[in-house]
């Protein structure tokens, strides 16, 4: 097993890399540590790469990076993944602060870069924008959420936090309730990505900044029942759904087996479980707008919820 500890960055194709770099710098508040019409690398103000945009005809997400335990030797990734019938390539200097990566294609068709001992990049740590504290989670559809969940748990050390019925999985690789979601649907389609804000006041600031930039909130504010994060969603210039969230459940101690208690938990203690789709609806806030549901009617209608 490869002991994954945290989410790295997501790589997207974009027909207009400079437009995306400008949006993620000026509105979201990341910093372009590398920028050209061919490729832009966006880091949080604390120097962690969150997004990479590469010029291409589509807007899909072909690659995702995951950071392994620093004691894990990337040379061992091949042995682990070969036992799952997958081949691995070792690559070097693929992004700033990343000396080496073990790269393979996961069963839903996303290239995964396993990173180790990532160095933060230098940023000016000033400037405007929303400035999320980190890249928190990313959701993909897969032909069966169950089989890709099994792979992430068995090969990459993820743990299941919750299921909504058998079609929507929430997986953690550290204390956060989820860093990856898998939803029944077509293989390898990015459903939404989520960036963490500091607190409720930061959600308010973010809402004002989105309004000032004529970016409507398409769902929220509300509090999810599954994961209990407060959320707002909007669409970026390439039409990706972006969630900004705070107060997500934390599994601070795996050996206890429950999420750190919060007053909004209905189960006491709140343990990983399988939710029915009705009980999985947000605790408060209005249902998702038509603009949120656009393009995803089919699987969202089946799920009745979006993590």
Shortest distance, position 307 Cβ to Fe ion, whole Å: 4
Number of residues that bind Fe ion (CB under 5 A): 3
Q: List CB contacts of 24: < 8 A, sequence separation 6 or more.
A: 30, 32, 40, 42, 51, 236
- For the chain, list the strands marked E by DSSP: 4-14, 31-35, 39-43, 49-55, 63-68, 89-95, 98-105, 111-115, 134-142, 159-164, 168-172, 180-184, 189-196, 219-223, 230-235, 241-246, 273-275
Dihedral sign from CA coordinates of 41, 42, 45, 49:
negative
Residues 94-133 contacting Fe ion, CB under 5 A: none
Shortest distance, position 6 Cβ to Fe ion, whole Å: 16
In whole angstroms, give the CA distance from residue 50 to residue 132: 10
- Quick one: 63 or 177, whose CB is closer to Fe ion? 177
- Quick one: 66 or 68, whose CB is closer to Fe ion? 66
162 binds Fe ion (CB under 5 A): no
- Quick one: 65 or 179, whose CB is closer to Fe ion? 179
225 binds Fe ion (CB under 5 A): no
Contact stretch for Fe ion (CB under 5 A) within 31-39, 193-201, 263-271, 290-298:
193-201
- Quick one: 108 or 228, whose CB is closer to Fe ion? 228
243 binds Fe ion (CB under 5 A): yes
Shortest distance, position 228 Cβ to Fe ion, whole Å: 12
Distances (CA, A) of 11 to 1, 40, 60, 85, 95: 24, 10, 9, 24, 11
- Quick one: 104 or 158, whose CB is closer to Fe ion? 158
- Quick one: 155 or 194, whose CB is closer to Fe ion? 194
200, with CB counted inside 10 A (0-12, 13-18, 19+), is exposed
307 binds Fe ion (CB under 5 A): yes
194 binds Fe ion (CB under 5 A): yes
184 binds Fe ion (CB under 5 A): no
Interface residues with Fe ion (CB under 5 A)? 194, 243, 307
């Amino acid at each position: 097993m490869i002991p994954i500890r945290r989410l790295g960055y997501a790589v997207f194709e974009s027909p207009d890399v400079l437009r995306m770099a400008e949006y993620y710098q000026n509105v979201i508040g990341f910093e372009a540590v590398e920028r050209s019409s061919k490729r832009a690398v966006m880091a949080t103000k604390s120097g962690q790469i969150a997004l990479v945009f590469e010029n291409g005809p589509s807007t899909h997400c072909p690659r995702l990076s995951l950071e392994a335990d620093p004691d894990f030797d990337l040379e061992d990734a091949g042995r682990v993944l070969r036992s799952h019938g997958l081949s691995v390539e070792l690559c070097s200097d693929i992004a700033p602060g990343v000396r080496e990566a073990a790269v393979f294609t996961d069963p839903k068709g996303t290239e995964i870069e396993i990173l180790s001992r990532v160095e933060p990049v230098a940023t000016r740590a000033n400037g405007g924008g929303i400035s999320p504290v980190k890249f928190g989670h990313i959701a993909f559809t897969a032909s069966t959420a169950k089989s890709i969940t099994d792979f992430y748990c068995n090969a990459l050390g993820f743990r299941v936090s919750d299921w909504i019925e058998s079609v929507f999985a929430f997986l953690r690789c550290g204390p956060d309730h989820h860093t990856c979601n898998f939803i029944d649907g077509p293989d390898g389609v990015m459903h939404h990505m989520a960036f963490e804000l500091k607190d409720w006041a930061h959600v308010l600031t973010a809402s004002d900044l989105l309004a000032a930039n004529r970016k409507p909130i398409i769902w929220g504010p509300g509090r999810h029942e599954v994961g209990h994060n407060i959320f707002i969603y909007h669409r970026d210039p390439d039409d990706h759904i972006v969630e900004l969230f705070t107060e997500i459940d934390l599994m601070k101690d795996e050996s206890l087996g429950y999420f750190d208690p919060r007053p909004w938990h209905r189960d006491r203690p709140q343990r990983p479980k399988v939710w029915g789709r009705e009980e999985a609806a947000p605790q408060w806030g209005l249902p998702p707008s038509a603009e949120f549901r656009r393009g995803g009617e089919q699987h969202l209608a089946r799920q009745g919820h979006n993590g």
